[in-house]
Amino acid sequence: MSTQPPSHYSSHPMDPPSMSGALPSPSAQYGPPPGPPPPGPQRPPSEAQMLGPAGLEQLSSHPSDLPPRPPRDDRYQTTDPFRPQRVYSDPGPLAPAPSMTPMLSATTQDIATIRANTQYGLKEFVELVKRRQNAPPGSTVSSDIDAKLRASGGLLVKDLRALRIELREVVKSKESHRWRRWLVGGAMATFFPAVKAILRIVTPSSTSTSLTTTTASTATYSPSSQQHYHYDLEHASNDTEYAFHRSKTLLQRIRSSVLGRGGVAASFAFFVFAALYVFQNEVALRVAKTLSRRVKKLLNKVEDGGFEVDEKDLKTLEGWRWRVLLWGSLKHGQIDFNDPRSVVQLTKTLLKSDFRLKIELPPDRLCPPVPNRHNYILWLKDLLDTTSYQDPKDQSIRGLDIGTGASCIYPLLACTQRPWTFVATDIDEKSLSYAAKNIKTNSLDSKITLLSRTPTDPLIPPTALPLTFTMTNPPFYTSAAELSSLAQKKSRPPHTACTGSPSEMVAAGGEVAFVKRIFDESLLLREQVRWYTAMLGKHSSVEVVVDMLRGKGVDNYAVTEFVQGSKTRRWAVGWSFGSMRPDEGVCRGMSEPAWCKVLPPSVVHEVLAAKVGEVDIGKLADAVRELGSGLELMSWAWDEKELAGLGRARQNVWSRAWRRKKMRAEKGDTGVDVRTKLSAEGKEEGNVCAIGFRIWVIAGREDVKIMCRWVEGHDVSLLESLLGFLRTRLSAMAK
């Protein structure tokens, strides 16, 4: 990679904003990715984009040992308004397709939220009751447990009461609509047992007969509906639950495909529609009443002291009735992030909607969150854009994704936004097979190359060199025991379901040891790779990795923080043996004071600040231009439009020592041009740029500022010397 600037100065990589505050933020390169449509009438996504029958299968409720956690608003944000936005515009809540709108009128998501909190509170309470029974009477331990029981019981009572209120709302809603639904269904409500019989759970041998009957009654039935049929067959606990889910599916099918067409088919379909409509309302009503009675009974036991509460009471908040009541993972744009299939479908939808990418994922491999992965790509784009004199569109970028996974999401995201090429590696053959399918499906075979590796192979394949950058998201945990131990310490379940395989979650020594392997290889490869990067999942790992870099004398590095929503944070570290320095927001992407000790030296500095009216902006800009022209620089380019100049020097040409050296050369001049002589001496010392800098004028409404950015070099003292020289000269000129 050549470090020589272009013959015609381009301000793109180092552009300051023409109007800004104290610090010029980097170029707005964290804009929206290509793909999302321009603002216009809001329409729900089509079946192909979001849900439909296949999406219904992905997002339907399912039995689980863990209660569903309340979904949260996963906004793509950063913590500092002065930092570059590493995120694309938030499209807002996802609108469910009409065929997926749950017919349950109560606040389904509120019930799911309260139930999740109640379930965990009840488990804690039961555990305390068991410990209290085993504790010696009158002991200190017994007193401590009693205090904890009172506190835990108070919270549990509060949650149970809130849950009862929500259940009563469901009952009230169903009863208030009961007469209307009866009018719609009429005498068809008498078919309640018949509907259960028709939609009962059948054995695989009778599957074809049942499907034929269903198809005839609804006039349409697609293969994807058959997939949902098999899901119900596998997971339904009894005929009522099975019939309820089937009736929901059929109602949506009839509504979207048959009603409104007219004719005999529509009349027959309306008959079926009305019967199913009444049936599902009655099921939901009976379920809500039963659950309300059981919750009330449990509430009374807790209020009476809770000593009769045992593990059997945990079943009060479990079972098929809750699945019926909470039918539909999608409600008011909210998604159950504790359901692995919901998470997978969300990932597929975001990739399809925002990036035109279509992927398939196995159920036993990691499902990557799109915002988190996209943030990493956006940071890499800025890292490369701000460490080159070339325009981004003119650069030839070749990256390496170490441990690409089944999704191959990093290369896919990057290659849809930039004309990059990738080498992607993995040690898991199943992940590689899915990655190959995803690459082929998106017609990126010519840009992405897969390599199968073994655990003992170098992480950076020699055959892939040279590279512009490497990237990796290493396993977090040192062992399966650590993973299990940390999970048990959490008082609440994770916000998002995790389906990762052991090779994706665990590595010997954890993520720090994994990054150290890359670092050790980088010490040998050095500038054969322009930037080595890694994303970290533990904040404690950042300091360890930075200390490792500093310990080997690596001074050119970058650290940043990725923030998704209000909970999830990830960190990235990159290092280079080259001399090009990343911009301020790229290399120092952490705003909290606690991170100051791991940050690299600042690269953006204020040289001069004055009030508008105190200085002539035109004269000040001319002074900056002439100051750069008067130095013995390797190159100096001035942009009149941007009031910015880019300079490169072999050594400290602004110091007194340099000026004395120049004067001695002039006194001993024998006809040889002084600049030629000094240039020759510079070549003897090495024709290498010691420092590159960019200086520009910012004209605001109230203030005029001159800023300087360190673009190239390793010597911080050389930068400080340059800043001192500029401040002295320009302050004198401003007066």
The three-state (H, E, C) secondary structure of 126-156, written as one string: HHHHHHHHHCCCCCHHHHHHHHHHHHHHHHH
Residue 537 sits in the same domain as residue 472: yes
Complete edge-to-edge strand list for the sheet that includes strand 691-699? 604-611, 703-713, 691-699, 644-649, 635-639
Q: What b/e string do you get for 191-223 counting C-beta neighbours within 10 Å, with b at 16 or more?
A: bbeebbebbbbeeeeeeeebeeebeebbbebee
The total of other beta-carbon atoms located within 10 Å of residue 548's CB is: 17
In a domain, residue 29? The reply is no
Residue 586 sits in the same domain as residue 619: no
Structural contact between residues 432 and 493, judged by C-beta atoms closer than 8 angstroms: no
Write out the DSSP string of 523-582.
HHHGGGEEEEEEEES-HHHHHHHHHHHHHTT---EEEEEEEETTTEEEEEEEE-SSSBPP
CA separation for the pair 331, 339 (Å, rounded): 14
- Report percent pLDDT > 90 for the chain: 33
Quick check: helix, strand or coil at residue 631? coil
Tokens 């639950």 correspond to 241
Residue 293 sits in the same domain as residue 387: no
Q: How many residues does the chain have?
A: 735
Residue 396 sits in the same domain as residue 507: yes
In a domain, residue 284? The reply is yes
Contacts of 160 (CB under 8 A, 6+ apart): 118, 295, 298, 299, 302
One-letter identity of residue 646: L
pLDDT at site 242: 64
Bond from prior residue into 13 cis (ω within 30 degrees of 0): no
Structural contact between residues 588 and 599, judged by C-beta atoms closer than 8 angstroms: yes
Residue 445 sits in the same domain as residue 588: yes
Residue 371 sits in the same domain as residue 508: yes
In a domain, residue 729? The reply is yes
In a domain, residue 639? The reply is yes
The total of other beta-carbon atoms located within 10 Å of residue 135's CB is: 16
Contacts of 369 (CB under 8 A, 6+ apart): 74, 343, 347, 496, 564, 568
* Sign of the torsion formed by the C-alpha atoms of 403, 406, 411 and 414: negative
CA separation for the pair 242, 664 (Å, rounded): 96
Burial of residue 562 (CB within 10 Å: 0-12, 13-18, 19+) is: buried
The CATH number of the domain holding residue 454 is: 3.40.50.150
Which residues in 9-80 belong to E strands, given as ranges?
A: 76-77
Contacts of 540 (CB under 8 A, 6+ apart): none
pLDDT at site 16: 39
pLDDT at site 151: 86
In a domain, residue 404? The reply is yes
Residue 587 sits in the same domain as residue 641: no
Which stretch of DSSP H or E encloses residue 168?
A: helix 140-176
CA separation for the pair 168, 186 (Å, rounded): 26
Residue 391 sits in the same domain as residue 436: yes
CA separation for the pair 450, 442 (Å, rounded): 15
CA separation for the pair 560, 591 (Å, rounded): 9
In a domain, residue 199? The reply is no
Residue 474 sits in the same domain as residue 460: yes
Residue 371 sits in the same domain as residue 293: no
In a domain, residue 35? The reply is no
The total of other beta-carbon atoms located within 10 Å of residue 126's CB is: 19
Write out the DSSP string of 69-84.
PPP----EE-S-TTS-
Residue 355 sits in the same domain as residue 498: yes
Residue 363 sits in the same domain as residue 312: no
CA-CA distances (angstroms) from residue 668 to 139, 631, 632, 656?
Answer: 97, 21, 19, 18
Domains in the chain, number: 3
Q: In the chain, which residues have pLDDT < 70?
A: 1-110, 177-278, 327-338, 476-508, 566-567, 666-686, 734-735
End position of a domain, from candidates 595, 628, 652:
595
One-letter identity of residue 669: D
CA separation for the pair 586, 382 (Å, rounded): 7
User: To 5 degrees, how large is the angle CA 330–CA 45–CA 361?
Assistant: 70
Structural contact between residues 713 and 689, judged by C-beta atoms closer than 8 angstroms: yes
pLDDT at site 424: 96
Closest residue by Cα to residue 349 from 328, 365, 326, 330: 330
In a domain, residue 61? The reply is no
Q: Does residue 229 come out as left (phi exceeding 0), alpha (psi in the -120 to 50 range) or beta? A: alpha
End position of a domain, from candidates 565, 595, 625:
595
Which stretch of DSSP H or E encloses residue 558?
A: strand 557-564
Residue 362 belongs to domain spanning: 340-482+494-595
Six token digits for residue 119? 């379930």
The CATH number of the domain holding residue 631 is: 3.30.310.80
CA separation for the pair 692, 650 (Å, rounded): 9
End position of a domain, from candidates 334, 354, 377:
334
Instruction: State the virtual CA torsion across 607, 612, 615, 620 in degrees, nearest 10.
Output: 50
Quick check: helix, strand or coil at residue 607? strand
SS3 letters across 278-328: HHHHHHHHHHHHHHHHHHHHHHHHHHCCCCCCCHHHHHHHCCHHHHHHCCC
Residue 101 CA, chain-centre distance (Å), reads 27
Closest residue by Cα to residue 546 from 519, 569, 568: 519
* Sign of the torsion formed by the C-alpha atoms of 548, 550, 554 and 555: positive
Phi, psi of 92 (to 5 degrees): 85, 180
User: To 5 degrees, how large is the angle CA 570–CA 576–CA 577?
Assistant: 160
The total of other beta-carbon atoms located within 10 Å of residue 418's CB is: 19
Structural contact between residues 569 and 563, judged by C-beta atoms closer than 8 angstroms: yes
Contacts of 162 (CB under 8 A, 6+ apart): 114, 118
Six token digits for residue 561? 């923080």
Structural contact between residues 275 and 195, judged by C-beta atoms closer than 8 angstroms: yes
Name the DSSP letter for residue 334.
Answer: B
